[in-house]
Amino acid sequence: MKCDECGKREATFHSIKKINGVTTERHLCSECQKKYGGSLMKMSGLGNLFGGLGSFFDEPRLSARNEYICPSCGTTGDEFLRTGFVGCSNCYKEFAPIIMPVIRRMQGDVSHVGKVPLGVENSVSMEYDRLKKELEKAIELEEYEQAGIIRDRMRQLKGESSDERKL
Amino acid sequence: MNGNYNDVVVTSRVRLARNADGLPYPYKLNDDRALLLAKKVCDAVNKRSSEPSDVENGDADYALYRMESINDIDGEVLREKHLISADLLENKKYGAAIINGSETVSVMVGEEDHIREQCILQGFDLHGAYHKINAVDDDISKAIKFAYDAKLGYLTSCPTNIGTGMRASAMMFLPGLGITRNLEQCVGAVARLNMTIRGVYGEGSEADGYLYQISNQKTLGVSEQEILGSVQASIGHIADAELHAREQLFKENSVAMKDRIFRSYGVLCNAYTLDSKEFMKLFAMVKLGVFYELLKVSDSQRFEKLVTDAQPANILNLSGKQLGEEERDVFRAAYVSKTLKSICKR
Ligand SMILES: [Zn+2]
Ligand SMILES: [Zn+2]
């Protein structure tokens, strides 16, 4: 039986709860059990959530991870690497050297090009939008050389590195 | 038998993950500021500049459910309807959900992120779902300053959601690919497009009604429109394969398929007791029978709703009684039989 949460690994944890005649079944693999099995308040006891995704981590950098502690929420770099969760927005700044390689491997890109909250300006998202329209026009006019130039510029904007384009 | 994507896509869903600026994220937030946040979100969505059509069908009114005071069954009912997650139910003390009248929009507060906004629509309508949740997102942003970074976009508790914070997904009914055992090949092709597929009610096998959820993995370095486009393209790819498989299946195994469909219909209309697994399995065949035009449905909304109605907590809720497991299965059999006989005929 496969895990309810990730659907990939075999389920090793089986819980059948019966509340007022309602049976709830949970079948989880060990990774997801650590992530979803306990209650939220017991989160500190998490195991290595990213165990199955070990390649996301840049091993040489791991040695220094204990030096990272977020002054705003108290989360440590080690805790982040174990659980996959940061504790607050400031963690992203505080853990930048360990978190950015993780983000690059997970997402393939490092720059946001989407929605901007009302009242906030983001020149990258605006520029990306503009280029996207230009690209569509270039393709429509069959100006493929121009389209290639625009595509490269879009790639630059989102920080895509050619060797890690595929997840 | 000319199918369209609505014969394959059951529901379309778009979810946005957001956090409030300056507050620790839910796993690190263990005080009343979490309760305040839910109240603020609720006020923000209720104050929103509602479209006239929303006011008409009750969509302008949002109700606040606190996990602290909701009873176990009501909580499970919402979870079975995919309006809240198991994670939110676990956050008994501070978790809350804000849900609109037609149950198309739900905002969870105190899940993995402070705020999880989602819109679920029937059929193949990802753009419609995005349009609706985007407006809700704007309204909430007027009341709560979101954690947002110029480079990384919307900041989330886990970097898997960072950037747009967006997950666009579709619940797909794939009996054709399941029965002909072509699903794996199809899943592999879609996985290469950075999409995730998983079973909705477990593994997505026969006993789970052949229901699968497909969604985007990547949230950073893509715009919302690009995510919608890529998920839509993947859905199209799978749906084409599914419709083709259904056609082949019927062409090559006409007698066997008709027999399985009519037997399934017969059992659902006449069983005295029925557990939810058996229901899912038989209902999938009846649904396929409707697609093949062997069975006719007069009220498709009610027909589709049966899947949720038959889930353990929902069926208890419909009975209005405290039933034991055995009595519940008897009630489910009677409920399904009565409904099917009135809206689905040979
Ligand atoms: Zn798992
Ligand atoms: Zn922090």
* Structure confidence at residue B74 (pLDDT): 95
B208 against B251, higher pLDDT? B251
Chain B residues in contact with A160 by the CB 8 A cut-off are 221
> How confident is residue B167, by pLDDT bands cut at 50, 70 and 90?
very high
Chain A residues in contact with B68 by the CB 8 A cut-off are none
- Mean pLDDT, chain B, rounded, equals 92
* Structure confidence at residue B51 (pLDDT): 63
Q: Residue range B16-24: average pLDDT?
A: 96
Helix (H/G/I), strand (E/B), else coil: A16: strand
Q: Which of residues 233-272 of B touch A (CB under 8 A)?
A: none
B119 has which bridge partners?
B14, B105
Let me know how long chain A is: 167
List, in order, residues 6 or more apart from B311 with CB less than 8 Å away: B80, B276
Tens digits of residue pLDDT in A105-137: 889 989 999 999 998 888 888 888 899 999 999
pLDDT cut 70: percent of chain B above it: 94
Q: What is the pTM of this model?
A: 0.82
Q: Residue range A35-63: average pLDDT?
A: 39
> How confident is residue A44, by pLDDT bands cut at 50, 70 and 90?
very low
* Structure confidence at residue B218 (pLDDT): 93
Q: Chain A closest CA to B31's CA: distance in Å?
A: 12
* Structure confidence at residue B205 (pLDDT): 66
> How confident is residue B249, by pLDDT bands cut at 50, 70 and 90?
very high
Ion ligand 1: residues, CB < 5 A? A 3, 5-6, 9, 29, 32
**A23 pLDDT above the threshold of 50:** no
Q: Which of residues 17-46 of A touch B (CB under 8 A)?
A: 18-24, 26-27, 36, 38-41, 43
Tens digits of residue pLDDT in B308-322: 999 999 999 999 999
Nearest CA in chain B to A28: B202
What DSSP string describes B11-50?
EEEEEEEE-BTTS--GGG--STHHHHHHHHHHHHHHSS--
Do B73 and A19 make contact, defined as CB atoms within 8 angstroms? yes
- Mean pLDDT, chain A, rounded, equals 74
Distance CA(A82)–CA(A90), nearest Å, equals 18
A101 touches chain B (CB under 8 A): no
Q: What angle do CA B3, B8, B13 make, to 5 degrees?
A: 140
**B246 pLDDT above the threshold of 90:** yes
| Torsion angle (degrees, nearest 10) of CA B183, B184, B188, B193 | 30
Contact B8/B239 with Cβ under 8 angstroms?
yes
Chain A residues in contact with B323 by the CB 8 A cut-off are 21
Tokens of B135: 């407006």
* Structure confidence at residue B52 (pLDDT): 61
Q: How far is the CA of B24 from the centre of ligand 2 (A)?
A: 7
**Percentage helix, strand, coil for chain A under 3-state DSSP, each rounded to 5:** 55, 10, 35
Specify the DSSP class assigned to residue A26.
E
* Structure confidence at residue A39 (pLDDT): 30
B204 against B146, higher pLDDT? B146
Q: How far is the CA of B147 from the centre of ligand 2 (A)?
A: 12
**A26 pLDDT above the threshold of 50:** yes
Tens digits of residue pLDDT in B79-121: 999 999 999 999 888 999 999 999 999 999 999 999 999 999 9
**A17 pLDDT above the threshold of 70:** no
> How confident is residue A51, by pLDDT bands cut at 50, 70 and 90?
very low
**A20 pLDDT above the threshold of 50:** no
Q: Residue range A77-82: average pLDDT?
A: 90
**Exposed/middle/buried for residue B346 (C-beta within 10 Å: 0-12, 13-18, 19+):** exposed
Q: Which member of B90, B112, B141 has the closest CB to residue A39?
A: B90
Helix (H/G/I), strand (E/B), else coil: A84: coil
Chain B residues in contact with A103 by the CB 8 A cut-off are 152, 159, 162, 220
B160 touches chain A (CB under 8 A): yes
Q: How far is the CA of A105 from the centre of ligand 2 (A)?
A: 22
Contact B200/B171 with Cβ under 8 angstroms?
yes
Contact B194/B151 with Cβ under 8 angstroms?
no
Q: Residue range B255-264: average pLDDT?
A: 97
Do B19 and A89 make contact, defined as CB atoms within 8 angstroms? yes
Nearest CA in chain B to A87: B25
Do A114 and B323 make contact, defined as CB atoms within 8 angstroms? no
> How confident is residue A50, by pLDDT bands cut at 50, 70 and 90?
very low
* Structure confidence at residue B284 (pLDDT): 96
Contact B235/B170 with Cβ under 8 angstroms?
yes
Distances (CA, A) of B174 to B149, B206, B301: 40, 10, 19
Distance CA(B227)–CA(B230), nearest Å, equals 5
**B253 pLDDT above the threshold of 70:** yes
* Structure confidence at residue A7 (pLDDT): 73
Q: Which ligand is nearest to the CA of B157?
A: 2
Give one word for B150, left, alpha or beta, with left for phi > 0 and alpha for psi -120 to 50: alpha
Q: How far is the CA of A45 from the centre of ligand 1 (A)?
A: 17
Q: Residue range B180-209: average pLDDT?
A: 78
* Structure confidence at residue A1 (pLDDT): 73
Do B24 and A72 make contact, defined as CB atoms within 8 angstroms? yes
Terminal CA-CA length for chain A: 27
A72 touches chain B (CB under 8 A): yes
Q: Tell me the backbone φ, ψ of residue B171, rounded to 5 degrees.
A: -90, 120
Q: Tell me the backbone φ, ψ of residue A70, rounded to 5 degrees.
A: -80, 120
Q: Chain B closest CA to A154's CA: distance in Å?
A: 10
Q: Which ligand is nearest to the CA of B203?
A: 1
* Structure confidence at residue B170 (pLDDT): 96
Distance of CA A150 to the CA centre of its chain: 27
* Structure confidence at residue A15 (pLDDT): 65
Q: Which ligand is nearest to the CA of B23?
A: 2
> How confident is residue B208, by pLDDT bands cut at 50, 70 and 90?
confident
Do A4 and B21 make contact, defined as CB atoms within 8 angstroms? no
B148 touches chain A (CB under 8 A): yes
Q: Which of residues 197-236 of B touch A (CB under 8 A)?
A: 197-199, 202-204, 217-225
Helix (H/G/I), strand (E/B), else coil: B64: strand
Chain B residues in contact with A75 by the CB 8 A cut-off are 28
Chain A residues in contact with B147 by the CB 8 A cut-off are 89
Helix H, strand E, coil C: the string for B145-214 is CECEECCCEECCCCHHHCECCEEEEEEEECHHHHHCCCHHHHHHHHHCCCEEEEECCCCCCHHHCCEEEE
* Structure confidence at residue A24 (pLDDT): 47
Q: Residue range A81-96: average pLDDT?
A: 93
* Structure confidence at residue B25 (pLDDT): 95
What number is the ipTM of this complex? 0.86
Do A20 and B21 make contact, defined as CB atoms within 8 angstroms? no
Q: Residue range B273-294: average pLDDT?
A: 96
**Exposed/middle/buried for residue A144 (C-beta within 10 Å: 0-12, 13-18, 19+):** exposed
Distance CA(B121)–CA(B123), nearest Å, equals 6
Q: Residue range B142-169: average pLDDT?
A: 96
Distance CA(A135)–CA(A43), nearest Å, equals 46
| Torsion angle (degrees, nearest 10) of CA B199, A86, B29, B137 | -60
> How confident is residue B60, by pLDDT bands cut at 50, 70 and 90?
confident
Among the ranges given (B48-62, B228-242, B286-300), the one the predictor scored with the smallest mean pLDDT: B48-62
> How confident is residue B204, by pLDDT bands cut at 50, 70 and 90?
low
CB pairs under 8 A between A and B: 171
**A46 pLDDT above the threshold of 50:** no
* Structure confidence at residue B46 (pLDDT): 87
- Other beta carbons within 10 angstroms of residue A19's beta carbon come to 14
| Torsion angle (degrees, nearest 10) of CA B283, B286, B290, B292 | 130
Among the ranges given (A118-132, B166-180, B229-243), the one the predictor scored with the smallest mean pLDDT: A118-132
Q: Strands B211-216, B166-173: parallel, antiparallel or unpaired by DSSP?
A: antiparallel
Distance CA(B279)–CA(B154), nearest Å, equals 41
Distances (CA, A) of B45 to B41, B61, B97, B143, B305: 6, 8, 12, 9, 26
**B259 pLDDT above the threshold of 80:** yes
Helix (H/G/I), strand (E/B), else coil: B295: coil
A100 touches chain B (CB under 8 A): no
Terminal CA-CA length for chain B: 16
Distance CA(B29)–CA(B110), nearest Å, equals 9
